[in-house]
């Protein structure tokens, strides 16, 4: 049974965010906007159609790089429109399924990850078309670093059973806003995108290393928890006491996915 538009925004937010906890800076305004939109999108527009709209936004961004390369740099502004379209489709496809009480969690998860990855590849290819010489490596590096971050997110999901699309205060929406700002800046200050994208790639490299270290520690703790669960009670208590002496952090174990 589908939800009606009589629900308040607060009630809709609770429904559409039931499967995930957001931590990004713009979460309140973003969730309010999504709650408003899901109530007013025509019923004939499906989740898959919204996913397609989101990918079309990525395609617009790729086209903006090509047009800016061969025609006029001002076409980079089309990329900003592309990111707005991408936000609309990508943010609403899964949320509207929950609002209509028709979620396909695993199907949606697999489709969303695949389309997101293809979108990142398109953006990286667009940058490589636009950039000259060795600067093309910045576009390649960004795709690699973003892919690394996606892998880390998926492995964390496997270990903990909890899925999040945010990395602390930054989520996909904040990334879209930042990249849109970079595109606008490039229109007024030629080649600024080359230096900024290189810096961002370097930052992603560092944060990915730190996140990977945390993930490996978390995985090690979960492995230890699993081993202790298979031990007789007396041996388990002795093992925990010895482990706590060497690593106080492990005094309380983190819940791990079964």
Find where tokens 């809709």 sit. 12
The pLDDT confidence band at residue 249, using thresholds 50, 70 and 90, is very low
Query: Which range among 85-89, 159-163, 205-209 shows the weakest confidence by mean pLDDT?
Result: 159-163
Instruction: Give, in order, the Cα–Cα distances in Å from 248 to each of 139, 236, 240, 245.
Output: 42, 16, 10, 6
Annotation: CATH topology of 9-246:
1.20.120
Tell which wins on pLDDT, 194 or 239.
Answer: 194
**What pLDDT was estimated at residue 50?**
94
Whole-number pLDDT of residue 2: 47
Query: Token pair 């700002």 is at which residue?
Result: 181
Per-residue confidence (pLDDT) for residue 237, from 0 to 100: 55
Mean pLDDT of 17-33: 78
pLDDT the model gives residue 250: 45
Percent of the chain residues past pLDDT 70, beyond the cut: 84
- Compute the mean pLDDT over every residue in the chain, rounded to the nearest whole number: 83
Tokens of 232: 């007789």
Report the pLDDT value the prediction gives residue 245, as an integer from 0 to 100: 55
For residue 108, name the pLDDT band (cuts at 50, 70, 90).
Answer: confident
Give the HSE-up count for residue 243: Cα atoms under 13 Å, Cβ half-sphere: 17
Do 19 and 162 form a contact (C-beta atoms < 8 A)? no
In sequence order, what are the residues at sequence separation of 6 or more whose Cβ sits closer than 8 angstroms to the Cβ of residue 229? 236
As a whole number of angstroms, the distance between CA 220 and CA 5 comes to: 47
Query: What confidence category does residue 224 fall into, taking pLDDT thresholds of 50, 70 and 90?
Result: confident
Residue pLDDT, tens place only, 127-172? 999 999 999 998 899 889 888 888 888 888 888 877 777 777 778 8
- Bridge-partner residues for 170, per DSSP? 167
For 64-77, write each residue's pLDDT tens digit: 999 999 999 999 99
Reported as a pLDDT band with limits 50, 70 and 90, residue 251 is very low
- Position 188 scores a pLDDT of 94
More confident residue, 144 or 10: 144
Asked whether residue 111 carries a pLDDT value surpassing 50, the answer given is yes
pTM given for the model: 0.80
For residues 169 and 22, give the distance between their C-alpha atoms in angstroms, rounded to a whole number: 9
| Residue where the block lists tokens 């990915």 | 208
SS3 annotation, the chain: CCCCCCCCHHHHHHHHCCCCCCCCCCHHHHHHHHHHHHHHCCCCCCHHHHHHHHHHHHHHHHHHHHHHHHCCHHHHHHHHHHHHHHHHHHHHHHHHHHHCCCCCHHHHHHHHHHHHHHHHHHHHHHHHHHCCHHHHHHHHHHHHHHHHHHHHHHHHHHHHCCCCCCECCECHHHHHHHHHHHHHHHHHCCCHHHHHHHHHHHHHHHHHHHHHHHHHHHHHHHHHHHHHHCCCHHHHHHHHHHHHHHCHHHHCCCCCCC
């Amino acid at each position: 049974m589908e939800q009606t538009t009589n629900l308040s925004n607060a009630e809709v937010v609770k429904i559409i965010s039931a499967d995930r906890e957001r931590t990004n800076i713009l979460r309140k305004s973003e969730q309010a906007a999504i709650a408003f939109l899901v109530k007013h999108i025509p019923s004939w527009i499906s989740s898959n159609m919204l996913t397609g709209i989101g990918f079309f936004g990525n395609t617009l961004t790729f086209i903006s790089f090509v047009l800016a390369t061969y025609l006029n740099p001002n076409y980079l502004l089309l990329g900003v429109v592309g990111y707005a379209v991408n936000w609309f489709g990508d943010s609403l496809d899964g949320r509207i399924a929950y609002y209509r009480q028709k979620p396909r969690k695993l199907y949606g998860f697999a489709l969303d990850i695949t389309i997101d990855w293809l979108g990142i590849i398109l953006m990286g290819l667009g940058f490589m078309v636009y950039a000259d010489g060795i600067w093309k490596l910045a576009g390649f590096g960004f795709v690699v670093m973003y892919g690394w971050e996606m892998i880390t997110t998926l492995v964390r999901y496997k270990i903990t059973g909890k899925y999040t699309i945010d990395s602390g205060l930054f989520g996909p929406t904040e990334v879209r806003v930042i990249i849109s700002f970079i595109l606008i800046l490039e229109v007024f200050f030629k080649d600024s995108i080359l230096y900024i994208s290189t810096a961002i790639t370097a930052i992603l490299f560092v944060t990915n290393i730190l996140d990977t270290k945390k993930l490996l520690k978390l995985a090690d703790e979960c492995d230890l928890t699993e081993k202790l669960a298979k031990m007789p009670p007396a041996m388990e208590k002795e093992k925990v006491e010895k482990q706590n002496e060497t690593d106080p952090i492990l005094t309380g174990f983190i819940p791990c996915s079964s």
